[in-house]
Amino acid sequence: MEYLRAFVIGSSILVVLPHLYAVANLDEAKLNYTYKQYSFAAPIYYGLMNMASLYLAIVLQLDSRNRYLLIGTLSPLIVISFSYFFKTYDYSNPEWLCYGVGLFIKHFLIWNVVVYSLNNWV
């Protein structure tokens, strides 16, 4: 039941909305995917990552704060690697750097403020 709860929290609109908003406002010429594809994949990704963070917390005996610090660091690395490897964006090197920094900030805040709060509230 804990894993289902983790998936629901991770895939909630409060978690995914900032990413949906950001993708909706990107230049479509730079995207190699559709908004529809992203709006389907993002909640699944965050739900599965929250489940993975629960698993890691149990295995590594992490408290809630350290769980989200860990996943807040791993998650953007996974997304950046995936995006770069599969060329999901047509970015120049400076744009990739800006994307990476922005993604680290966004993921860190999402995991350590939004998801952490939802996990303690629900």
Domain locations in the chain?
2-121
Q: What angle do CA 5, 9, 10 make, to 5 degrees?
A: 115
Mean pLDDT of 20-36: 92
Rounded Cα distance between 81 and 52, Å, is: 18
Maximum Cα–Cα distance for the chain, whole Å?
A: 45
pLDDT in the model for residue 122: 75
To the nearest 10°, the Cα dihedral for 19, 117, 12, 52?
90
pLDDT in tens, 82-118: 999 999 999 999 999 999 999 999 999 999 999 999 9
pTM: 0.92
Helix, strand or coil, per DSSP, at residue 94? helix
Give the pLDDT confidence score for residue 16 in this predicted structure: 97
